[in-house]
Amino acid sequence: MDDIVRQAMVKWPNVPHCHGWLGLDARGNWYLRDAQAQALGGFASGVAGARGTRLLHQRLIEFIQRNYAADEAGRWFFQNGPQRVFVELEAAPWVWRVAPDRAVSAHDGRPARVQAVFVDEQGRVFLRTDLGFGIVHTLDMVAVADAVEAGDWAPEPVRGADLPRREGYLLSPQAHPATA
């Protein structure tokens, strides 16, 4: 976490949390969800416009990713100075990139070591790593297939709907007011 963020948290400790305004899709893209986007539906609803506006400013994305973490309830957030902005997730808290040599990195570029591989009923591939749990980017399925064919990875079948509870994260902190 950035030092300036830590300092702001100390200086203003009682800033209310923010829900619904930031989303992370299954390809590692960040979205700003204004009131109009939120009114259209949930981030992962598939409703046109409900995701909001994709963030493209690289320095803002880097700032978000440096200050991205989870709380004890499995709610992922971006610590924006003194304000905690909870993140709506399309699929999982991390999006993994898999290189042809099977090197894995997170959507923020950090390297990760694979601990377990899963495939759901939709054919989506998820990895548990030393950094946490996430979905493999769709562009990297050839590298995943190569790892499976070589016998390096043996995906365990899972039900996609079970993953958030099983792996300890919430897709939508806003949709869970009892824990939000």
Is residue 70 predicted with pLDDT exceeding 80?
yes
102 & 160 share domain: yes
How many angstroms separate the Cα of 169 from the Cα of each of 90, 91, 123, 129, 172? Answer: 12, 10, 20, 15, 9
**pTM reported for the whole predicted model:** 0.89
Q: What is the mean pLDDT of residues 72-84?
A: 91
Within a domain: residue 63?
yes
**β pairing state of 83-89 and 133-136:** unpaired
Beta bridge partners of residue 68, listed in sequence order: 78
Within a domain: residue 151?
yes
- Supply the pLDDT for residue 134: 98
Q: What is the mean pLDDT of residues 48-77?
A: 96
Query: Is 151 exposed, middle or buried (CB count within 10 Å of its CB: 0-12, 13-18, 19+)?
Result: exposed
The residue that leads in pLDDT, 78 or 7, is 78
List the CATH number of the domain containing 40.
3.10.540
Q: Provide the residue range defining the domain that includes 83.
A: 3-90+169-175
Count of domains for the chain: 2
- Supply the pLDDT for residue 108: 96
pLDDT digits (tens, 9 = 90+) for 1-59: 667 656 665 665 676 788 999 999 999 999 999 999 999 999 999 999 999 999 999 99
73 & 102 share domain: no
Cα-only R_g, the chain: 17
Q: Looking at 37-137, which runs of residues are DSSP E strands?
A: 53-54, 68-70, 76-80, 83-89, 94-98, 104-106, 111-112, 114-119, 125-129, 133-136
20 & 69 share domain: yes
98 & 82 share domain: no
67 & 121 share domain: no
74 & 107 share domain: no
Q: Which residues contact 137 (CB under 8 A, 6 or more apart)?
A: 26, 27, 28, 95, 96, 97, 98, 107
pLDDT digits (tens, 9 = 90+) for 92-126: 999 999 999 999 999 999 999 999 999 999 999 99
Contact 75, 173 (CB under 8 A): yes
Within a domain: residue 180?
no
61 & 119 share domain: no
Within a domain: residue 65?
yes
Contacts 24+ apart (CB under 8 A), 38-41: none
